[in-house]
Amino acid sequence: MLLAAASGVALALSFPNYNLSILSWFAVTMLVLAAYHARTAMALLAGFVQGVLFYVIGVPWIDTVMRQYGNVGALTAAGLLGLLAVAGGIIVAFFTWAVALASRRSTVLACVLAPFLWVTLEFARSHLPIIAFPWNLAGYAASGNLAFVQLTTVTGIYGLSFVIVGYGSLLAYAILIGRRAPHAPVRHGPPYGSTSKRSQRAWQRAFTASLILIVVGVVGRYLVPREEPDHTAHLVQTNFPQSEEYPADWGVIHAGELDELERISVDAAITTPGIIVWPEVPAPFSLQDSAFAARARRIAADSAADFLVGVVDWKQGMGGKWEASNSAVLLSPSGRRLFTYDKIRLVPFGEYVPLRRWLTFAGKLTADIGDFTPGAEYSVGQLPDGTFAVFICYEAVFPDEVRQFTLNGAELLINVSNDGWFGRSGAPSQHLMMARVRAVENRRWLLRDTNNGYTVSVDPYGRIAAELAPDIRGQLDAPYAFRDDLTFYAIHGDWFAWLCVIVSVVLLAIAILGRNRGDSPGPRASKAPVP
């Protein structure tokens, strides 16, 4: 239990705002050791403890957001975080159960299964119906290293998770083999030689792997190419305080601040021509509001620039009912609407409430949160020199969905977000960390514009080319370029994750049906003949 708890804490501390990424390389080592030869109930409990601690320590901001902006009590907010932690704990419990089962057959089988199964379960987290939450996958802990993150152009983020967990599993194997008594007999074991020699070879492999990772991580980052930008965008950070509700005269009350933002936008585009971008709707912005629509058209006309702005877009649906979508709209300098993207992946408990009729304990929450209508098309827009696509906020954590924009012809990626909900918790940094990987996976420039930070330009190799300080009102001259080449990942998608699924099924079948090879550590008591 101590090993499992330490694993959950170590993995959580690998991510912002703790930033102890080195711990991620050893977190799964402790979890494999905790599961090794454990009884079924203990293995399940170990995984559950690890998963719960990982979520409670890694994403405590969920509780904060629910209390501050969900208008619910402390117990309900803690309960929602608890539900997420329990779900995560159940997933990790399956991992430790499977490793424990495999370890009864073979130490090698258990340690080989671990990285394949871990990726399989991360892949499952990304595709759970309704409540998919692929936040802080293990691979992101290493994504800040320019050399390591280039692997994602082939495998997606799941390949980087495999490297981290595979290394941790290799260390676990070396430790387990080293626990053997120096001259302990191995019944029915393969002809690998003495246990001490096998242990020596295992540690040699672990040392070699460590050396390779260190060299690649330290030297490899200097070998990553640089991309030269040839365009400039103006990413406007609006820096409006987050609010649960907005009065009808909000636009009048904040007219001075809107005038300031208009001046910032127009002056920047006149000085250096380029598209103006405002973030995911940080206030009651809608083009159905005549006053805001007039201001938006004026910004585009006075700057003689295309203007991409996050709005709540109202449309009449079936039966004439008005429906709202979280959208990004591009206006031409003449004020004509050129492009609209309606957010497809909505935030559970933020933009809609899943299973609303069953969550009666969260009555206040379900009453206060209205439902946005999700979009259905991975739209690609046209700028004077190339094509672009927009994904909004939470969509940045779904690699396969961002990839769809690239397949549809996007030569530039734009991510607009309102991270003001998170305050200065670890969430904004975690969000940026994951969005950066989308740039590398697709080998595209990424322009990320937020309400209060982090507003950045990311090059196709994951470098932050320009950034604006958080919690200020201003604009960033963001360099970028268009690219039309397709990475292996963009073309083939989550092939590596599916490979891990297949291998996991095969190895689990071997664990369940295979014979005991008898190569677990430590001497076994021989049966005495019955007189």
Give catalytic residue positions.
280, 343, 393
With 0-12 / 13-18 / 19 or more C-beta atoms within 10 angstroms meaning exposed / middle / buried, residue 194 is middle
> Which one-letter DSSP state was computed for residue 347?
P
Cβ neighbours around 131 below 10 Å, total: 13
- Name the strand (E) or helix (H) holding 340: strand 337-342
Cβ-based neighbours of 291, under 8 Å, separated by 6 or more: 251
Name the CA radius of gyration of the chain, rounded.
Answer: 26
Phi-psi region of 281 (alpha: psi -120 to 50; beta: other; left: phi over 0): beta
User: Token match 């030569």: residue?
Assistant: 411
Query: Exposure string (b/e) for 59-93, b if CB count within 10 Å is 16 or more?
Result: bbbbbbbbbbbbbbeeebbbbbbbebbebbbebbb
DSSP 143: T
Pick the closest to residue 281 from 342, 348, 367, 345 (CA basis): 342
Residue 310 identity (one-letter amino acid): G
Give the integer Cα–Cα distance in Å for 508 and 110.
9
DSSP one-letter string for 71-96: ---HHHHHHHHHHHHHHHHHHHHHHH
Q: How far is CA 414 from CA 31, 237, 352, 425, 493, in A?
A: 38, 14, 24, 23, 20
Beta bridge partners of 342: 327
| Contact of 317 with 323, CB cutoff 8 Å | yes
Q: How many Cα atoms occupy the beta-carbon half-sphere of 520 within 13 Å?
A: 17
